[in-house]
Amino acid sequence: MNCVETGVAPDRILAQNTAGGAVTRTRPLCPYPQTAIYNGSGDINDAANFHCGGNLEEPRVVCADVLAKYKHEVKGPLDYTGTGVKGHICRE
């Protein structure tokens, strides 16, 4: 409401997943181009253990999340399918 009435956007929004009426996971939703970054300790299902940061426009941030295909993790190439990332950007 504050965002609409005063033009001040929140620094993050808390999202949660529930199962059987109980909250099972919370995560911060960060303003683009930031992303939720795990602090390195604590429960990965608790938003308190994440902070907003990074820049999803920077290749070093995006490329770190590209994965290899299943069963090719050891020496297989990264799989850019469906990521929106162009492979040549990550290889530079």
In order along its 92 residues, the chain shows pLDDT tens digits of 788 889 888 889 999 999 999 999 999 999 989 989 999 999 999 999 999 998 888 877 777 777 777 777 787 777 777 777 777 777 76
Per-residue model confidence (pLDDT) at position 92: 61
Compute the distance between CA of residue 36 and CA of residue 30 in angstroms, rounded to an integer. Answer: 6
Question: Which one-letter DSSP state was computed for residue 68?
Answer: B
**53 and 79 share one domain:** no
Range of the domain at 78: 59-92
**44 and 14 share one domain:** yes
Torsion angle of C-alpha atoms 69, 70, 75, 79, degrees rounded to 10: 10
**79 and 43 share one domain:** no
**92 and 50 share one domain:** no
pTM, rounded to two decimals:
0.64
**63 and 48 share one domain:** no
